[in-house]
Structure 1
């Protein structure tokens, strides 16, 4: 299985310490099976930080989900209330309950798979965090959204499964 990561640099060695915190599934290295999605992200990153867009490709054994030594959280392809709570908790800079199974701020999950909270969904999250809408209103605004997928890798054990493809 090939996973793609959009960037402004060729990433030969993944360094989790360089990954930004408070992302959908916590601090981690984010990839997708959708090459076009990675291309859009690469263009966005290059526009913001400079450089040229680069789509990095990594190979991973398709059976990685069945590996017992990994703790994997898989939300599937559709948004859900559980997914929304998980994303809300990971994006919340004030969340101190790291042991909560509905967050990954402590990297309890090696890999998390699920929909991306796109810009429209991010707006709903901000409106909820600012008390402008209720959690139910936020959730209802997400249910009918078409989503794309993401695979986030949070531990060295998970990163070691990714094999860089030649660009």
Structure 2
């Protein structure tokens, strides 16, 4: 399987970085099978970026969690990760909280909206997809195969 990672730099050796905020599936290295999604990420903050390409070979010995679609379990897992609760999975795959859904998740985390209100707000949104790698063993399933330079233009700014 081919995966992509959009970045402002070429990333030959992926890493897991602890940051000042928690992500959907906690700290990890996040990829997508959707090249266009990676292109958008690569030029989100810069005029020039890179789409890094990796061959991904799953390792059945790793602990893996996959969400096929947004569900209550998916929402609860994201809320737990966003409030700083670590998990023990090597790889997590599933829908990504994009910019449209992010605020609804945060409002739910903050208690500003109910679970019912959350589902009503997101029912017409179609989140993008991600696969995240959370351990060194998980990163070992990726092999860098190259990168492509992408530029922001008036059509994708």
Taking structure 1 as the reference length, the TM-score comes to 0.80
Partner of 1:85: 76
The CA distance in 1 between the partners of 2:22 and 2:130, in whole Å, is 15
Aligned residue among 59, 66, 69 for 1:74: 66
How much is the aligned-residue C-alpha RMSD, in angstroms?
1.8
Partner of 1:16: 16
Give the structure with the larger strand fraction.
Answer: 2
Count of paired positions = 147
Moved over 6 A (4+): none
- Tell me, what secondary structure is at the counterpart of 2:141? coil
Unmatched tracts of structure 1, length 5 or more: 99-104
The CA distance in 2 between the partners of 1:130 and 1:19, in whole Å, is 20
The CA distance in 1 between the partners of 2:116 and 2:127, in whole Å, is 19
Taking structure 2 as the reference length, the TM-score comes to 0.85
Give the structure with the larger helix fraction.
Answer: 1
- Tell me, what secondary structure is at the counterpart of 1:165? strand
Unmatched tracts of structure 2, length 5 or more: 148-157
Q: Deviations over 1:19-69 (max 9, x none)?
A: 66510001000000000000000011436xxxx3111110112xx1xx431
